[in-house]
Amino acid sequence: MKLFFIATIALLSYIAIDLVFNQNMWDANTTLTLYLQQNQFDGEKEMFLVFSYSLYVLPSIAGIAFLILDNKLGALLYGGMILFSVASNSLLKNIYHQARPFFIVEEIEPYECNKEFGKPSGHAMTSQAMCFLLPSILFPAIWKDQSNCKYPLHLRLLVIFIITFWTFMTGFSRVFMGVHSFGQIILGWVYQAYISIIYMQYLHDKIVNYLKECLQVGQQGVSIKVISVIGFIVFIWTCISILFLELNRNIFISTSEATLWMEAVYEKCDNQTTLYTIDSPSVLQNICFSMCLYIWFMLSFVFGIKLSKGIYLENEFKQHYKQISYWKKTQRILVLIILISLLIPFYFIKFDAVYAQAFGQVVPVSILGGLFITVVYQKLLNYLKLSIPGDFLQIITNQSSDGIIIERQVKKS
């Protein structure tokens, strides 16, 4: 537990430093952002936009890994941690409820039109989660030799340099674009570093080992007790999210202040045709509250594992996957793409109230996303005869179960 206490003390210390020097960092950032925007070279804006928008590409790595790698559980946990980063960042934004630089500094121009609070930076948190958890969860040999995999030192150093550089440039791009102060960026990095360290050090291996054990042939799957604990966590998280939503709407953020901020969005952002108010679902505390509820994916994921009644034999997938045709591999990809695309229409529904958007859009997408991956996808693969031995939550019959047990006994002997 020594690392836990050190990390916690470091986090609390920086939170205190941030509170004390908040105004100093804000003033220094204003000077920096104005200098960067007023003295940019040709192509600089486009370069920073690439780093900023790359954030939306990296989650696809989780999907690719889930489809072609044997570490399917790792790919899903990696994707789950990205969603947790989004949800925790949104909750923290409602706790801090700090404006973005272009909301209140007249000279700063926004190169991206973000309408929620700015502190801590979501791009800082999620980019760090994506870049550093990717090798930690899917390719752990990057950090430490594994019994079945070792990478040369130069490759390790190259990967570490790339993920560190990419994380830094993603954060710096947000300062240049006028949508974050560097104080908001650094705070995002600090929070995500704490989350990642605690997760990898104390939770990841335990979660993986537990799920692998309860998804063996003859086991009963995830226990009701575990599902109940996660359900309680999600319920408390939702209650806290509602609390800070209402505090911001009725106490911390005044209507006049929110109006000034939304007028800045309306006047400065290209193609912005709507003048939002403090009650608009897609701005400030309202959109932050909605995104807090991506935490519901956690509950849906474990509940779906229970419903699926499938098994997971990680070491058997790789050899069987190599033997199937490219057409069959393509069909497996298309099935997953079709399932995910069924969630897209939810984002085209327009809501006039924040609770309607949160519980009519984000919560259903989170719940259905978890159930699609854990239940529907494997049932479709099984129905279409596209299932492969070793698939995550592979559906088996009593006859195939007996065959798997005999095959494994033969391998052991």
Q: Are 294 and 80 in contact (CB under 8 A)?
A: no
Where does the pLDDT of residue 47 fall: very low under 50, low under 70, confident under 90, or very high at 90 and above?
very high
In sequence order, the β-bridge partners of residue 149 are 146
- Provide the residue type at 253 as one letter: I
From CA 152, how far away is CA 154, in angstroms rounded?
6
Neighbours of 237 (CB within 10 A): 19
How far is C-alpha 411 from the geometric centre of its chain's CA atoms?
39
Q: What is the dihedral of CA 89, 93, 98, 103, to 10 degrees?
A: 80
pLDDT at position 153 is 84
pLDDT at position 323 is 87
**Could you read off the pLDDT of 190-201 as tens digits, one per residue?**
999 999 999 999
Q: Which residue has the tokens 């990642």?
A: 196
- 142 has a pLDDT exceeding 90: no
pLDDT at position 10 is 96
pLDDT at position 397 is 65
- Long-range CB pairs of 400-405 (<8 Å, 24+ gap) are 401/217, 401/218, 404/217, 404/311, 404/313, 405/217, 405/218
pLDDT at position 317 is 84
Where does the pLDDT of residue 116 fall: very low under 50, low under 70, confident under 90, or very high at 90 and above?
very high
pLDDT at position 406 is 40
In sequence order, the β-bridge partners of residue 394 are 311
pLDDT mean across residues, the chain: 91
Where does the pLDDT of residue 410 fall: very low under 50, low under 70, confident under 90, or very high at 90 and above?
very low
Where does the pLDDT of residue 409 fall: very low under 50, low under 70, confident under 90, or very high at 90 and above?
very low
pLDDT at position 405 is 45
Q: At 274, give phi and psi (nearest 5°).
A: -110, 130
Q: Which of 283, 288, 293 is nearest to 359 (CA)?
A: 293
- 149 has a pLDDT exceeding 80: no
Neighbours of 178 (CB within 10 A): 26
pLDDT at position 174 is 95
Distance from first CA to last CA of the chain, Å, rounded?
40
Lowest mean pLDDT among 12-16, 24-28, 130-134, 239-243: 130-134
pLDDT at position 402 is 45
Q: What is the dihedral of CA 112, 118, 124, 125, to 10 degrees?
A: -130
Where does the pLDDT of residue 403 fall: very low under 50, low under 70, confident under 90, or very high at 90 and above?
very low
Q: Which residue has the higher pLDDT, 320 or 239?
A: 239
- 217 has a pLDDT exceeding 90: no
From CA 17, how far away is CA 30, in angstroms rounded?
19
Neighbours of 230 (CB within 10 A): 18
- 141 has a pLDDT exceeding 70: yes
Q: Which residue has the tokens 């560190």?
A: 164
Residues in CB range of 43: below 8 A, 6 or more apart: none
- 376 has a pLDDT exceeding 50: yes
Residues in CB range of 94: below 8 A, 6 or more apart: 117, 241, 244, 245, 248, 285, 288, 289, 292
pLDDT at position 65 is 84
Neighbours of 80 (CB within 10 A): 19
Q: Which residue has the higher pLDDT, 143 or 347?
A: 347
Residues in CB range of 183: below 8 A, 6 or more apart: 18, 21, 22, 25, 26, 29, 119
pLDDT at position 53 is 87
Domain residue spans in the chain? 2-218+312-351+377-412
What average pLDDT score do residues 255-267 get? 95
User: Is the pTM here over 0.85, yes or no?
Assistant: yes
**Could you read off the pLDDT of 291-300 as tens digits, one per residue?**
999 999 999 9
From CA 279, how far away is CA 354, in angstroms rounded?
7
Q: Which of 50, 82, 48, 52 is nearest to 65 (CA)?
A: 82
Q: Which of 379, 375, 381 is nearest to 333 (CA)?
A: 381
pLDDT at position 413 is 46
Where does the pLDDT of residue 398 fall: very low under 50, low under 70, confident under 90, or very high at 90 and above?
low
**Could you read off the pLDDT of 307-330 as tens digits, one per residue?**
998 999 888 887 888 888 999 999
From CA 404, how far away is CA 112, in angstroms rounded?
54
Neighbours of 412 (CB within 10 A): 6
Q: Which of 56, 133, 126 is nearest to 92 (CA)?
A: 126
Q: Are 163 and 142 in contact (CB under 8 A)?
A: no
Cis preceding-peptide flag for 120 (omega within 30 of 0): yes
Start-end of H helices in 293-397 = 296-308, 314-323, 326-341, 354-357, 363-371, 377-383
